Amino acid sequence: MSNRRDFIKKTALGTIGVSTVFSCKEITENKQDKAEGVIGSTPTKPLVISTWNHGLPANEETWKRLKQGRSTLDAIEAGMKIPEADPKVRSVGYGGFPDREGKVTLDACIMDHKSNCGSVSFLQGIKHPISIAKRVLQNTPHVMLSGKGALQFALSEGFVEENLLTDEAEKDWKKWLEASKYSPVINIENHDTISMLVLDKNGDISGGCTTSGAAWKMHGRVGDSPIIGAGLFLDNEVGAAAATGLGEAVIRTAGSAMVVELMRQGKSPFEACKEIVERIYNKHKDHKDMEYLQVGFIALNKNGEYAGYSLRSGFNYAVVDETQGNRMEDAQFKMKWDN
């Protein structure tokens, strides 16, 4: 956890604004806006973007599969399985922070350019929820399976049940139980969903999300990540968007669907992400969730323009294309976060 904190400190952008909201400084004269259009301004395809540092190895795997000519859904699944299997990634799959009962419960979804969707929520004991979401899309008449039903379906598809609670996650959970205070640490305990958006060589768009959700959530809680329109949305005529951050805030505002609708109305990915983050801020500034609220979006459009924007600093995303390879980019943000 400390590595993540160090990383955030190292990558935090300079403070520009003045007014203090909790421990954040609002950027009143946002110099970042002057760079608007710079990030993602060289449209290219194929293009893959994924949230956070763990997006980098995920992108690499997805890119490899795309280059091998595999289907985009196969490529997304292969990429997302990397952080799902990595016990050091504490917010996705195996090794993820459990809920307050010590159970690791997983949410995931996947969507293709024809608007076919598959999703699982509150799934336990299966290491790769993204694979089950893909099977829901391909092998069922439904969009979403949840809890025991999702597990039953996974087992019927040949997946095996395993313990996803690592010793380290169990230790962290027992430590959390001492105070049992639900106030997830910004950018660390409830914000590391991996969301991935792909524009393939034909100009078709697909995406996926996978997460173990907010650390220390109530048993049964489902976040935005498996909900089409909240954690992920795309319209192949327009573009795609995906979220990271406090799922409750993203669900309340249908975040990703709204970003895509703004792009349909002519906004750039940057403008669309920024407007929805502003909307979420305005709706939550007097809300109890504001104390630990972080939300971020990534978006791309049909032309291969892309961007990321978050409420609080510290959010970054991985981008891979033909010209510049696989790299991290810092998202622009509304408020500086002094963790």
Catalytic positions are: 193
Of 46-54, 243-251, 307-315, 319-327, the window that binds ligand GLY (rule: CB under 6 A) is 243-251
| Residue 213 in the binding site for ligand GLY (CB under 6 A) | yes
Least distance (Å) between residue 107 CB and ligand GLY: 6
Q: Does 247 bind ligand GLY (CB under 6 A)?
A: yes
Is residue 193 a contact point for ligand GLY (CB under 6 A)? yes
Using rule CB under 6 A, residue 214 touches ligand GLY: yes
Q: Which stretch binds ligand GLY (CB under 6 A): 74-82, 130-138, 221-229, 257-265?
A: 221-229
State which amino acid sits at residue 130. Answer: I
What spatial distance separates the first Cα and last Cα of the chain, rounded to whole Å? 13
Place of tokens 């010793």: 167
Distance, in Å, from the CA atom of 339 to the CA atom of 334, rounded to the nearest integer, reads 15
Size of the site for ligand GLY (CB under 6 A): 12
State the residue number with the nearest CB to ligand GLY: 223
The helix (H) or strand (E) run that includes residue 283 is: helix 269-284
CA distance 326 to 173: 34
- Of residues 211, 268, 310, 326, which one binds ligand GLY by CB under 6 A? 211
Query: Which range binds ligand GLY by CB under 6 A, 49-57, 208-216, 255-263, 266-274?
Result: 208-216
Q: Return d(Cα 75, Cα 192) in angstroms, integer.
A: 21
Residue of the chain from 24, 194, 238, 246 that contacts ligand GLY (CB under 6 A): 246
Spatial separation of the C-alpha atoms in residues 192 and 105, rounded to whole Å: 15
Distance, in Å, from the CA atom of 321 to the CA atom of 249, rounded to the nearest integer, reads: 31
Rank residues 72 and 91 by Cβ distance to ligand GLY and give the closer one.
91
Amino acid, res. 97: F
- Could you tell me whether strands 306-312 and 232-235 are parallel, antiparallel, or unpaired per DSSP bridges? unpaired
How far apart are CB 61 and ligand GLY at their closest, in Å? 21
Ramachandran class of 31: left when φ > 0, alpha when ψ lies in -120 to 50, beta otherwise = alpha
Minimum CB distance to ligand GLY, residue 147 (Å):
15
Residues forming contacts to ligand GLY in the complex (CB under 6 A) are 190, 193, 211, 213-214, 223-225, 244-247
